[in-house]
Amino acid sequence: MTISYDNQPDPSSPLDIAPVTGRIGGEVRGIKLGPDISDADVAAIEAALARHKVLFFRDQDHLTDESQEAFANRLGRPVAHPTLKVAPGSSYILELATAENRVASVWHTDVTFTADYPRASILRGVDMPPAGGDTMWINTVTAYKYLPDTLKQLAESLRVIHTNMFDYLAPSPVQNAKSSDFSAFTATRFETEHPMVRVHPVTGEKLLLLGGFAREIVGLPKADSDALLAMFTRHVEATENIVRWHWRTGDLVIWDNRATQHKVAADLGNQTRVVRRVTLAGEVPVGVDGRQSVQIHPEPLAVAAE
């Protein structure tokens, strides 16, 4: 009997990849990542990423900030975060360290409040706890694929406003922790109109472009917008679309930021968790009708208020 499921490995791939779930994620074994990997390995990683959406690599302890950035350069053009500062001594690395369990605990796709948000993220586990702080990813292609046809048609007709005026970190027990984090993240106001259904520029697959930064459906009253966003979010967050990864120090994960959402389990207590991320420049999304995303507010809040 032929076994069929969404996340099947490619038998022609030169990489040793084990699917992690039936719809998303592949663990890549037996490869040492770095700027000196071959062009063939780069091509194989790109192909596997398009297929599995998230790639997990154990035992990459040899990587440093410098070699992580150099490796990222082999896969694309690194870009810095539009509002947060890079790690000292680096050009593009964003350090995400726990501060009393303040982790990104709401489902989101990185930086969708900009029009050309990153196409991929490369995350390295620098100091990981023995338990807690797992990261989960959603396959937003299968989220669209398994919608009822009527909801597919509705989603394809909708446009959604994404903004960074939203706190996606877990609540902190430390007084004023939120205010400092949120102030840095929202120092510049971003707001972008995206199609709810994006066409993947590499695979041609349709996917649902939602997540925590998606706050309003264009042209609808707030109550109706909130209800529809909640309904589509429920379909996106179906258990079958999700993979969960328990980190070890030295792990590296690459995900297709166009075709996934992710979040972190806020179960760390006071444990230390440090990861460092490089993102790769993306393209402006295109909907099924050929219309592109449009950035509405790139200006600083101080300017916008004048």
- Summarised one tens digit per residue, pLDDT across range 217-246 is 999 999 999 999 999 999 999 999 999 999
Q: Give DSSP secondary structure letters for 105-155.
A: -S-B-TTTTSTT--SEEEEEEEE--SSS--EEEEEHHHHHHTS-HHHHHHH
- Tokens 């009527």, located at residue: 150
pLDDT value at residue 301: 39
Tokens representing residue 131 in the block: 């338990």
Of 232, 19, 202, give the one whose Cα is nearest residue 107. 232
| In the block, residue with structure tokens 């120092």 | 187
Q: Please give the Cα distance from 2 to 4 (Å, whole number).
A: 6
Contact 252, 89 (CB under 8 A): no
Give 249: exposed, middle or buried? Use CB within 10 Å, 0-12, 13-18, 19+: middle
Structure tokens, 137 = 């990813």
* Residues 294 and 115 sit within 8 Å (Cβ to Cβ): yes
Strands 26-29, 54-57: pairing is parallel
Mean pLDDT in residue range 281-294: 98
Quick: pLDDT tens for 166-191.
Answer: 665 545 544 444 555 556 666 678 89
Q: Is the dihedral of CA 3, 7, 12, 18 positive or negative?
A: negative
CB 68 within 8 A of CB 124: yes
Partners of residue 70 on adjacent β-strands: none
Domains of the chain: 17-297 (3.60.130.10)
CA distances from 41 to 24, 64, 86, 185, 250 (A): 21, 20, 28, 36, 20
The tens digit of pLDDT for each residue in 7-63 reads 999 999 999 999 999 999 999 999 999 999 999 999 999 999 999 999 999 999 999
Distance CA 271, CA 128 (A): 9
Cα–Cα distance, 92 to 84 (Å, whole number): 11
Is 291 in contact with 195 (CB distance < 8 Å)?
A: yes
Closest by alpha carbon to 261, among 198, 203, 191, 219?
198
At residue 303, does pLDDT exceed 80?
A: no
Q: Higher confidence at residue 164 or residue 284? A: 284
What mean pLDDT is reported for the chain?
Answer: 91
Instruction: Tell me the three state secondary structure of residue 79.
Output: strand
Q: Around Cβ 223, how many Cβ atoms within 10 Å?
A: 8
Report which residue type is found at 19: P
Confidence tier at 97 by pLDDT (50, 70, 90): confident
Q: Report residue 110 CA to chain centroid gap.
A: 5
Q: Which two tokens stand for residue 148?
A: 């009822």
8 Å CB contact between 24 and 54: yes
pTM of the full structure: 0.91
Return the percentage of the chain with pLDDT > 70, whole number.
Answer: 88
pLDDT tens digits along 108-133? 999 999 999 999 999 999 999 999 99
